[in-house]
Amino acid sequence: MTPSAYVLEYHLINYRRTWRASVFSSLVLPLLTMLGFGLGVGGFVTGGVEGVSYLQWMVPGLIASTALQTAVGESTWPVMSCFTWVKIYFAQAAAPLRTTDILGGHLAFMLFRVMITTTAFLLVAFCFGALRSAWAVAVLPIALLVGAAVAAPVAAYTASVTSDSYLAILLRFAVLPMSLFSGVFFPIESLPEVLRWVAWALPLWHGVDLSRAATLGLDPGPDAVWQVLYLLLWCVAGWFLASWRYRRRLVI
């Protein structure tokens, strides 16, 4: 096993205490949104969107958005706790682990959490008949890609700030607008040009667009390659940023 696998193992053992509650809430959240948005709002949007029912149109976006929420949730307060409150990162740094092992193991755990919430959402969506194609299984790797594209830079951000009020700022000024303007609830074509550029620049819209093509069984076209590459760019840049910030905190 590589050293980062030992770090992942530590986070999994820690997760074992709360996994039941966590998996339960991973199922309840999609259930509620399905009922509220899909049936409630969907009943209102009677014409459907782009030729499919509102529920079927919105579900892939919500799954990508849930992957984002999980990744952000795991890379903010838990990371701050590892640095500031529990300080377990410092205990790990005293062992024969490198900062990249500590970061890599924790990111792997974050992606594990993304995998759980995404799988749960897919199952619920399947039960509601919201998936139109077997290609929907491709949503899982897409969600992991979105998760990594977000978790790595956010972990870098969390490692750089000293108080958790900065985390609240991140949620309010980055995560919330990204969730609203990334084509989750309505097509970004209805946005003004400027906001459309914001959607294209941020990682979530690409995940939403790819997931939507998958669950609706549409051909994503050659753009899909660029979208995947763009998300990978976020992952790689986020990884280097986070490694740098982690080293600055742990090796002084």
Partner 1 sequence: MNSLIHARGLVKRFGDFTAVDGIDIDVRAGEAFGFLGPNGAGKSSTMRMIGCVSPPSDGVLRILGMDPRRDGPRIRARLGVCPQLDNLDPELTVLENLTTYARFFGISRGVARARAAELLEFVQLGERAGSKVEPLSGGMKRRLTIARALVNEPDLVLLDEPTTGLDPQARHLVWERLFRLKQQGVTLVLTTHYMDEAEQLCDRLVVMDGGRIVAEGSPRELIEAHSTREVVELRFATEDQGLYAGKLAGIGERTEVLPDRVLLYVTDGDDALAEVHRRSLSPASSLARRSSLEDVFLRLTGRTLVD
Contact positions vs partner 1 (CB under 8 A): 1, 3, 6-7, 9-10, 13-14, 17, 86-88, 90-98, 250-252
Least distance from partner 1 to the Cβ atom of residue 96, Å: 4
Q: Rounded to an integer, what distance in angstroms lies between the CA atom of residue 168 and that of residue 188? A: 26
Least distance from partner 1 to the Cβ atom of residue 88, Å: 6
Contact 122, 31 (CB under 8 A): no
Closest to partner 1 by CB, 74 or 209: 74
Residues sharing a CB contact under 8 Å with residue 184, sequence separation 6 or more, in sequence order: 58, 61, 62, 64, 65, 204, 208
Closest to partner 1 by CB, 93 or 110: 93
Least distance from partner 1 to the Cβ atom of residue 84, Å: 11
Strand partners, 49: 52
The tokens 């700022």 sit on which residue? 169
Residue of 251, 248, 252, 246 lying closest to 103 (CA atoms): 246
DSSP letter at 4 equals: H
Least distance from partner 1 to the Cβ atom of residue 158, Å: 18
Residue of 207, 18, 205 lying closest to 116 (CA atoms): 18
Closest to partner 1 by CB, 13 or 194: 13
What are the CA-CA distances from residue 32 to residues 37, 103, 210, 211, 224 (Å)?
8, 34, 24, 20, 30
Q: Rounded to an integer, what distance in angstroms lies between the CA atom of residue 121 and that of residue 197? A: 28
Q: Provide the token pair at 100.
A: 């990249």
Closest to partner 1 by CB, 1 or 194: 1
Least distance from partner 1 to the Cβ atom of residue 86, Å: 6
Least distance from partner 1 to the Cβ atom of residue 71, Å: 22
Q: What contacts 24+ positions apart, CB below 8 Å, involve 31-36? A: 31/124, 33/62, 34/59, 34/124, 34/125, 34/128, 34/130
Least distance from partner 1 to the Cβ atom of residue 93, Å: 5
Closest to partner 1 by CB, 2 or 163: 2
